[in-house]
Amino acid sequence: MCHYRLMKLITKVLITALALLVVARYIPGIEITGLYIALVAAVIIGLLNLIVKPVLIVLTLPITIVTLGLFIFVINAGLFWFVASFVDGFDVVGFWPALFGSLVVSIISAIGNKFID
């Protein structure tokens, strides 16, 4: 049972890394130098989504309610941009590429993860 969960986690990280590579290829303003950097960024994004994102959602709950949940896209973009700020080889130039990149990575990861769940 433990090996199954580990393989599932590794597969999810690989799906996110491949989604990052796709985003870097097709969205101007986002660059990733290779698969290793994409894997590192995928792990960090996953950890931030697990630990930091829920805290940010609670802290920004009033504005999230006022915007009918759309502010969560801004939180995703901010985390995406934040990861790019300290991972060498992963560059995001501006808010809009971060927004579109985080949105596409989320969609690709969600579709990919449906196949392994």
Q: Please give the backbone phi and psi of residue 68, each rounded to the nearest 5 degrees, phi first.
A: 55, 35
Is 104:54 a contact under the CB 8 Å cutoff?
no
Q: How far apart are CA 19 and CA 104, in angstroms?
A: 8
The whole model's pTM is what?
0.91
Model confidence pLDDT, tens digit, residues 24-70: 999 999 999 999 999 999 999 999 999 999 999 999 999 999 999 99
Model confidence pLDDT, tens digit, residues 55-112: 999 999 999 999 999 999 999 999 999 999 999 999 999 999 999 999 999 999 999 9
